[in-house]
Amino acid sequence: MSGNEEVDQPGRLSATVRTVDGVRVVTLRGEIDHTAREVLGQALVPEGTAPAPRVVADLTGVSFMDSSGINVFITAHRRIGESGGRLRLAGAGEAVRRVLALVGVDTVIPCHPTLEQALLDA
């Protein structure tokens, strides 16, 4: 993929997708809740395509996430893993980190404080 690809849900969640050194980087901004499931899922693993082998979700711009986001990340993690790939999460703020830790996602999907650290692990 060349350039940036954007997936938006006006007023709620936006996702910008780009490739950095062969890694699909999904930069998310806004809130991840039940209304954003499709936008998030399409950005991580577009329907009808094979999952990218390495994906990093940059959560720096995410202000809120509920269990809907957790479900999408777990599903994406499984789909990417089935083809031998890896999903990493990066830059989650305190509120989002708390949700990830509360349900144990941080023990299943590696979470990194910065995008740069996640890219090194991707």
Distances (CA, A) of 111 to 1, 6, 12, 116: 25, 23, 23, 12
pLDDT in tens, the chain (122 residues): 345 666 654 558 999 999 999 999 999 999 999 999 999 999 999 988 888 899 999 999 999 999 999 999 999 999 999 999 999 999 999 999 999 999 999 999 999 999 999 999 99
Bridge partner residues of 17 (DSSP): 5, 26
Q: pTM of the full predicted structure?
A: 0.89
Domain ranges of the chain: 5-121
Question: Does the structural domain 5-121 have CATH classification 3.20.20.70?
Answer: no
Tokens 């999904």 belong to: 26
